[in-house]
C-alpha cells in the first residue's frame, strides 16, 4: 500500500485511518513501504493531534499486534522529544491530558506482555515529568487499581504492578532533592500495600507446593505477582527512605526477607528436587531479588544495613553460602590435556548459587567499605544520625569483621576462588582471543564475575588487615618457592595472591630472590597447563615491576618477556603472548625503567610484538600498539634505530582496520610519538604521513569525525620537529588549515598552534600576500573568542606576524600589515572594544558601567597596537586615523592605555607598551604637542616600568634583557626557532632606561632646550611624579635631570 507523504504545512487534521495506514507501511516487510511510512510518521511528529491518534491505535485491540506495537513505540519516542513544556513543538496541554487519561486503563487491560511493557514505559516517562504538578493523582490511582483487582483479576494485578515497577524505576533515578522527597512521601503507603499483596501471594503458592490445594494455574499467577511485588519493594526500600532503619515497615520486611531467603533457598537446593521449572525458576528469581535488596541496602544505606534487624547474621549466612559454593567452584581436578567443549546451550547460563554468592561477596565488600572507606557527603546530618552511623561502624568492625572471619574469607578466596577452573580452560580453548579480552576487561565488570569480585575483596582485606594476613600470605608464598612439586593450579592461585598483595607485602617478601629461584624456572616449564602459569607470571611481573624489582634483576625480567613472546614455543599460545604484550607496558611505564639497560633487548621484543600484531584481531591490536608506543616514549631518541620496522607495518594495519577508527587513532598517536622522539630524523616518513593527515582533516569526510584530534596532534608534532627550510610537501599542507579555522570546533586550539608553527617555520610563505590576508581575515573572526587560551593564541599569531613582517620587509612591511589589519576589520574591532572600555571607565556612581572586555583581553588588544607602534610610530598614527580624528582618538586611547598599565599582569607586556608609547615621542609636529599632553602619564609610566627593570641589580642592566643562550641538546627544531625568535624581541634586547633617556633627550631638544621644556611642559607635571622619575637616574649633579649628559 502506498500513499503520498503529507508535509505539516499542507496537512489537514489527521484521522485515525491516515495514521493507521502510515503505521502499516512502516511495519511492512518491503523496504520501500518501510521508508515511505517512516518518513510520513516523522513528518507528523510536530503536528497537532498526532500523539493522541497513536494512542488510539494502540488501544484498538481489533488491529494487528505489530501495528499497535509500532504505535506505542512512536508514542514513547514522542514523549522523549516533545512532552516537556520547554521542548520545541511541545505537545499541547489538552493533548497531554487526553493521553494521560487513558494510560493507566490502557495498560491494566492489555493482554499482550510486550505491549503492556511499552505502555508501562510510557506511563513512567510521563510520570517523571508530570508528577506531581500536572498528574498529582497517578500514584493514588495506581494504588486504588491494585487494591481493586488484587482479588478479582490476577492478570490486571500483574499489569498494574508492571506499571508501578516502571514508575518507581523512573522516579528512583531522580537526583533532585525535591523529587526524592516526593517519592519518600508516598513510599510508606505503597510499601504497606505491596507487602500485603506479596505476603498473600507467597502464602498462596507456598501452600500449593506444600500440598494445600490443587490450583496450579493460580499458584503460578501468584508466583509471578509476588515476584513483581518484591521487585518494586526492593527499589522502594532503597530509594523511598532516607533512613530505612527508622521505619517499622522496613524492619518487618527486612526480617521477613531473611526468613524467606532461607526458606526459598531450601526449596531450590533440596535433594531430591521438590520443584521443577518453571516454578523453580520463579523461586530462584525471588532469591535473586532478595540478594539484590541486601546488596543494595549495604551499598546505598550502609549504616541502616548494619542497624537493621539481624543484618550481621545475614552477612555470616551469606559467607556460609559463599564458602560452601567455593568448595564446588575451586576444584583442582583440571584436565589440561582435555579438548572437551561446553554445550553451547549452557555457555551463558549462570547458576542461581553463583548469583547469590556474587551478592554475598559484594555485601562483604560493602561492609569493609563502611568501616574503612566511608562515603563522604556534604549533606547535613543531625548529631543523632552521626552517632547512629558511628555505632553502625563500630558494630560491623567489632562483631562482624573478626580476625577469625577475615582469615576464613582470605583463605577461601585464595584457595578456592583464585583457582583456575576447567570451565576457564575450556573457554580459553574455544576462543583464546575472546577469552583474553574478557579476562582483561576493566570497569565495573567485577561485580558480575566471581573471580574478579573475589580479587577486589581480597585486596580490601589485605590492605585493611595487613597485620593479620601478611604472615599467612608469606607462608603461602614460600610453599611454592623453589619446588616443582606444586600443581599448576595451585601455583596460579598463589601467584594471583602474590600479585594482588604486592603493595602490602613488598617490605616483608624478597621478590627478587623469588624471581631468580622460582619464576625463572617456572616460566621455562613445558607441558599441559603450563601456558596458564606463563600467563600468570606475565601478570605477576607487571604487578611487581612498579613495586619492587631491583635494577640488577631488570634484564632478567626482559629475558622472561622475550621468552613469553617467543612464537616458536608451543606453550606460548595467543593468550600467553597477548598477555605478555599487555603487561610489558607496565614494565616500560615504571619510573625506574632504564632505557639504556633495555636497549640490548629492544629489537627482539619489538620484533616479536610486531609479529604478534599481524596475527591477532583488531580489538587486540590496540593494547599491543599501546605497548609499542610506551617503548617508544621511554626510549626517546634511541627508538630511531628500530623505527623503520615499526613504521613498515603501519600501512597494512591502516588498510586492514577498515571502519575500526580506534586503530587508526592509535596509529596516528604512535606516529606522533615516533616523530617527537626522532625529531628531524622523522622527515623520512613524511611521504607516508602527510597524505594521511590531509585525508583525516578534509572537511566533510568520515575520517575527520573520528581522526581529527589525532591527525592535528601529529601535524603539529611534525611541524615542531621539522627543520627549516621546510619541504614543499609540508608547506602545501598548510592550505588544509584554513577550512579548519572556520569550523571552530574543540580542536581549534591545535589548528591555531599549527598556524603559529607555520609562521615560524616558513615566514615568507605564510606572509605572502594571498596567505597573509586570508590569515588576518580568519584572526578577525576569532578575535572575540570566549576561551582565554584561544584568545591568547590569536593574539600571539598576529603579534608574530607583525614582528616577522617587520624583520623581512622593514617599514614597508609594517605599512602593508597595518593596511591588512584595517581591511580585515581587525583594528576596527580593537578600537571598538577599547573605546567601549574607555567610555565605561568614565562612568561612576550608581550608573557605573562595566566594559565588555576583561583586563586580559584588553591587554591583548594593546599588545597588537604596541607592536605596530614600536615597529613604526608613523604607521601607528595612520592606524589611529582609520578610527577617526587622530587627535580625538589619541586622547581617549592614551587615557585608557595609561590607565590600563596597572592591570597588565605580565611585566613583559608592560615593557612592550612602555617602549611603544616612548617611540611615539619621535613623531614630528604636529603630533608632538598632542603627545606631550600626556607627559605626566609618561613620567608615571617610566618611573613604574624602569624601576621594575632595574630593581634588584646594581650593574645598570635591564631585568628583561636575556643573556646569550646556545640552547641544549634536547631542543627540537621548533624549540630552536622559538628561542631565536624570542631572543630577537625588542622587549629582550632594548635597555629600557637608556631607550627612554635617549628619546626624552631628543624631545627636549625639539622643544627648544631644557628651559623651554620645563617652562612649557614639565610645569604641568605633578612634583611627586617628577621626583619619582628623576630618582631613577644616578646623577653626579643632583640639580640636573637624568636625561641630560652627565659631566
C-alpha cell at 584: 610489558
Cβ(494)–Cβ(476) under 8 Å? yes
Are residues 289 and 202 in contact, defined by beta-carbon separation less than 8 angstroms? no
- In contact, 74 and 117? CB cutoff 8 Å: no
Q: What is the largest CA-CA distance in the chain?
A: 127
pLDDT of residue 478: 85
Q: What is the DSSP letter of 421?
A: P
Cβ 16 vs Cβ 56: under 8 Å: yes
Q: How far apart are CA 1043 and CA 1046, in angstroms?
A: 9
- Angle 912-915-919 from CA coordinates, rounded to 5°: 140
Residue 371 burial (CB count, 10 A): 20
Give CA–CA dist 212/201, Å, rounded: 14
Cell numbers placing 933: 599632553
pLDDT for position 340: 43
User: Taking CA 925 as the corner, what is the angle to CA 919 and CA 926, rounded to the nearest 5 degrees?
Assistant: 110
Return the sign of the alpha-carbon dihedral for residues 354, 359, 363, 365: positive
Alpha helices in 45-176 (DSSP H): 50-59, 65-82, 93-108, 113-130, 138-149, 154-172
Q: Distance between CA 889 and CA 912 in Å, rounded?
A: 21
Contacts 24+ apart (CB under 8 A), 961-970: 961/988, 961/989, 961/990, 961/991, 962/988
Residues, the chain: 1047
DSSP labels, 328-388: HH------TT------GGGTT---HHHHHHHHHHHHHHHHHHHHHSPPP--S---HHHHHH
Q: How far apart are CA 374 and CA 379, in angstroms?
A: 14
Q: CB neighbours of 484 closer than 8 A, spacing ≥ 6? A: 521, 525
CA distance 177 to 380: 13
Do 206 and 223 form a contact (C-beta atoms < 8 A)? no
Name the residue among 917, 800, 927 with its Cα closest to residue 870: 917
Distance CA 674, CA 688 (A): 13
pTM above 0.95, yes or no: no
Q: Please state, in angstroms and as integers, the Cα–Cα distance from residue 800 to each residue in 535, 724, 755, following that order.
A: 56, 17, 11
Q: Helices 595-615 and 554-564: crossing angle, nearest 10°?
A: 10
**Average pLDDT for consecutive 10-residue bins of the chain (1047 residues)?**
44 78 88 88 90 93 92 93 91 93 92 94 93 90 93 92 94 82 89 93 88 80 93 93 91 92 88 80 94 94 93 94 86 50 48 91 94 77 85 92 94 91 86 83 70 92 93 87 74 92 92 91 87 93 92 94 93 92 94 93 95 88 94 93 92 86 91 92 92 87 84 94 91 90 79 93 88 89 78 89 89 90 91 91 86 88 93 92 90 92 89 93 86 88 89 82 80 89 91 90 84 82 83 51 47
Listed residue (664, 673, 592, 606) closest to 637, CA to CA: 673
Question: Is the CB of residue 1046 less than 8 Å from the CB of residue 1036?
Answer: yes
All three cell numbers of 955: 650593574
Which of 208, 223, 203, 194 minimizes the C-alpha distance to 281? 223
Alpha helices in 173-247 (DSSP H): 177-209, 216-239
What is the rounded distance in angstroms from the CA atom of residue 578 to the CA atom of residue 901? 62
* Rounded Cα–Cα distance for residues 18 and 491 (Å): 71
CB distance 36 to 2 below 8 Å = yes
Write the DSSP assignment of 715-747 as a string of letters: HHHHHHHPPSSPPHHHHHHGGGHHHHHHH--TT
Q: Where are the alpha helices (DSSP H) in 440-553?
A: 450-464, 466-478, 488-500, 502-505, 511-514, 520-522, 530-544
Looking at residue 785, its pLDDT comes to 74
3 state DSSP class of 166: helix
| Alpha carbon distance 1042, 1030 (integer Å) | 6
Q: List the beta strands (DSSP E) in 953-1044.
A: none
The three grid cell numbers given for residue 492, joined into one nine-digit string = 596460579
pLDDT at 377: 66
Quick one: cell of 150? 488484587
pLDDT on residue 384:
87
Amino acid at each position: 500500500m502506498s500513499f503520498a507523504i503529507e508535509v505539516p504545512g499542507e496537512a489537514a487534521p489527521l484521522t485515525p485511518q491516515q495514521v493507521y495506514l502510515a503505521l502499516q507501511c512502516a511495519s511492512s516487510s518491503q523496504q520501500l513501504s518501510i521508508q515511505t511510512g517512516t518518513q510520513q510518521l516523522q513528518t507528523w511528529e510536530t503536528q497537532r493531534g498526532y500523539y493522541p491518534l497513536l494512542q488510539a491505535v494502540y488501544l484498538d485491540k481489533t488491529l494487528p499486534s505489530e501495528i499497535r506495537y509500532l504505535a506505542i513505540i512512536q508514542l514513547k519516542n514522542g514523549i522523549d522529544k516533545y512532552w516537556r513544556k520547554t521542548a520545541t513543538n511541545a505537545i499541547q496541554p489538552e493533548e497531554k491530558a487526553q493521553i494521560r487519561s487513558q494510560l493507566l486503563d490502557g495498560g491494566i487491560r492489555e493482554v499482550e506482555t510486550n505491549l503492556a511493557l511499552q505502555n508501562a514505559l510510557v506511563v513512567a516517562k510521563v510520570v517523571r515529568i508530570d508528577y506531581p504538578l500536572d498528574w498529582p493523582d497517578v500514584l493514588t490511582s495506581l494504588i486504588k487499581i491494585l487494591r481493586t483487582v488484587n482479588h478479582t483479576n490476577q492478570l490486571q494485578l500483574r499489569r498494574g504492578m508492571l506499571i508501578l515497577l516502571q514508575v518507581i524505576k523512573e522516579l528512583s533515578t531522580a537526583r533532585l532533592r525535591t523529587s526524592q522527597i516526593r517519592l519518600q512521601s508516598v513510599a510508606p503507603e505503597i510499601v504497606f500495600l505491596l507487602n500485603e499483596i506479596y505476603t498473600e501471594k507467597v502464602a498462596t503458592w507456598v501452600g500449593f507446593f506444600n500440598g494445600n490445594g490443587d490450583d496450579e494455574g493460580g499458584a503460578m499467577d501468584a508466583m509471578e505477582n509476588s515476584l513483581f511485588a518484591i521487585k518494586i519493594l526492593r527499589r522502594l526500600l532503597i530509594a523511598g527512605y532516607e533512613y530505612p532503619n527508622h521505619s517499622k515497615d522496613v524492619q518487618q520486611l527486612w526480617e521477613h526477607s531473611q526468613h524467606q531467603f532461607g526458606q526459598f533457598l531450601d526449596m531450590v537446593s533440596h535433594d531430591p528436587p521438590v520443584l521443577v521449572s518453571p516454578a523453580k525458576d520463579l523461586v530462584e528469581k525471588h532469591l535473586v531479588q532478595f540478594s539484590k535488596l541486601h546488596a543494595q541496602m549495604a551499598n546505598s544505606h550502609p549504616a541502616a544495613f548494619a542497624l537493621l534487624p539481624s543484618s550481621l547474621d545475614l552477612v555470616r549466612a551469606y559467607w556460609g553460602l559463599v564458602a560452601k559454593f567455593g568448595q564446588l567452584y575451586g576444584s583442582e581436578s583440571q584436565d589440561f590435556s582435555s579438548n572437551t567443549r561446553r554445550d553451547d546451550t549452557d555457555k551463558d547460563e549462570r547458576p542461581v548459587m553463583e548469583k547469590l554468592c556474587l551478592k554475598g561477596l559484594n555485601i562483604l565488600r560493602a561492609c569493609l567499605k563502611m568501616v574503612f572507606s566511608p562515603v563522604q557527603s556534604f549533606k547535613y546530618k543531625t548529631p543523632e544520625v552521626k552517632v547512629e552511623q558511628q555505632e553502625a561502624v563500630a558494630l560491623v568492625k567489632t562483631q562482624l569483621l573478626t580476625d577469625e572471619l577475615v582469615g576464613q574469607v582470605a583463605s577461601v578466596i585464595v584457595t578456592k576462588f583464585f583457582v583456575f577452573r576447567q570451565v576457564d580452560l575450556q573457554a580459553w580453548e574455544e576462543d583464546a582471543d575472546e577469552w583474553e579480552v574478557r579476562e582483561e576487561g576493566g570497569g565495573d565488570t567485577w561485580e558480575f564475575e566471581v573471580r574478579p569480585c573475589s580479587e577486589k575483596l581480597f585486596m580490601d582485606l589485605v590492605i585493611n588487615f595487613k597485620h593479620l594476613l601478611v604472615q599467612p600470605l608469606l607462608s603461602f608464598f614460600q610453599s611454592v618457592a623453589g619446588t616443582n612439586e606444586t600443581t599448576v593450579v595451585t601455583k596460579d592461585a598463589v601467584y594471583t595472591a602474590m600479585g594482588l598483595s604486592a603493595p602490602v607485602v613488598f617490605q616483608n617478601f624478597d621478590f627478587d630472590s623469588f624471581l631468580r629461584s622460582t619464576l625463572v624456572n617456572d616460566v621455562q616449564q613445558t607441558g599441559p597447563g603450563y601456558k596458564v602459569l606463563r600467563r600468570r607470571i606475565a601478570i605477576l611481573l607487571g604487578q611487581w615491576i612498579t613495586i619492587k624489582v631491583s635494577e640488577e634483576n631488570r634484564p632478567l625480567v626482559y629475558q622472561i618477556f622475550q621468552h613469553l613472546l617467543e612464537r616458536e614455543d608451543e606453550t606460548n599460545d595467543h593468550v600467553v603472548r597477548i598477555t605478555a604484550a599487555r603487561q610489558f607496558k607496565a614494565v616500560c611505564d615504571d619510573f625506574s625503567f632504564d632505557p639504556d639497560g633495555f636497549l640490548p633487548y629492544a629489537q627482539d621484543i619489538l620484533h616479536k610484538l610486531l609479529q604478534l600484531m599481524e596475527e591477532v584481531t583488531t580489538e587486540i591490536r590496540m593494547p599491543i600498539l599501546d605497548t609499542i608506543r610506551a617503548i617508544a616514549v621511554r626510549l626517546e631518541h634511541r627508538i630511531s634505530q628500530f623505527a623503520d620496522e615499526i613504521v613498515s607495518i603501519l600501512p597494512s594495519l591502516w588498510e586492514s582496520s577498515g571502519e575500526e577508527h580506534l586503530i587508526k587513532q592509535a596509529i596516528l598517536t604512535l606516529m606522533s610519538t615516533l616523530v617527537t622522539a626522532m625529531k628531524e630524523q622523522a622527515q623520512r616518513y613524511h611521504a607516508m604521513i602527510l597524505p594521511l593527515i590531509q585525508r583525516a582533516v578534509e572537511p566533510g569526510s568520515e575520517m575527520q569525525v573520528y581522526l581529527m584530534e589525532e591527525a592535528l596532534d601529529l601535524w603539529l608534532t611534525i611541524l615542531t620537529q621539522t627543520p627549516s627550510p621546510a619541504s614543499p610537501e609540508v608547506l602545501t599542507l598548510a592550505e588544509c588549515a584554513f577550512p579548519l579555522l572556520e569550523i571552530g570546533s574543540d580542536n581549534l586550539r591545535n589548528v591555531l598552534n599549527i598556524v603559529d608553527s607555520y609562521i615560524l617555520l616558513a615566514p615568507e610563505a605564510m606572509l605572502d600576500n594571498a596567505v597573509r590576508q586570508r590569515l588576518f581575515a580568519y584572526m578577525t573572526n576569532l578575535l572575540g573568542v570566549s576561551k582565554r587560551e584561544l584568545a591568547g593564541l590569536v593574539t600571539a599569531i598576529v603579534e608574530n606576524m607583525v614582528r616577522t613582517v617587520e624583520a623581512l620587509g622593514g617599514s614597508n612591511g609594517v605599512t602593508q600589515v597595518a593596511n591588512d589589519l584595517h581591511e580585515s576589520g581587525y583594528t576596527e574591532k580593537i578600537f571598538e572594544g577599547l573605546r567601549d572600555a574607555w567610555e565605561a571607565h568614565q562612568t561612576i556612581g550608581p550608573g557605573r558601567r562595566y566594559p565588555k572586555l576583561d583586563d586580559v583581553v584588553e591587554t591583548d588588544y594593546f599588545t597588537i597596537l604596541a607592536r605596530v607602534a614600536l615597529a613604526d610610530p608613523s604607521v601607528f598614527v595612520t592606524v589611529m586615523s582609520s578610527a577617526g580624528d587622530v587627535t580625538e582618538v589619541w586622547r581617549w586611547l592614551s587615557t585608557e592605555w595609561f590607565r590600563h598599565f596597572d592591570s597588565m599582569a605580565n611585566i613583559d607586556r608592560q615593557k612592550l607598551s612602555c617602549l611603544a608609547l616612548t617611540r611615539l615621542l619621535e613623531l614630528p609636529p604636529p603630533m608632538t604637542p598632542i603627545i606631550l599632553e600626556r607627559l605626566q602619564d609618561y613620567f608615571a609610566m617610566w618611573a613604574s616600568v624602569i624601576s621594575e627593570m632595574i630593581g634588584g641589580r646594581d650593574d645598570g642592566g635591564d631585568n628583561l634583557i636575556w643573556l646569550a643562550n646556545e640552547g641544549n641538546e634536547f631542543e627540537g627544531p621548533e624549540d630552536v626557532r622559538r628561542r631565536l625568535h624570542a631572543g630577537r624581541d625588542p622587549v629582550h634586547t632594548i635597555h629600557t632606561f637608556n631607550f627612554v633617556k635617549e628619546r626624552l633627550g631628543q624631545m627636549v631638544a625639539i622643544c627648544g632646550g631644557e628651559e623651554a621644556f620645563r617652562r612649557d611642559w614639565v610645569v604641568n607635571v605633578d612634583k611627586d611624579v617628577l621626583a619619582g622619575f628623576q630618582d631613577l637616574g644616578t646623577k653626579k649633579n643632583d640639580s640636573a635631570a637624568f636625561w641630560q649628559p652627565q659631566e
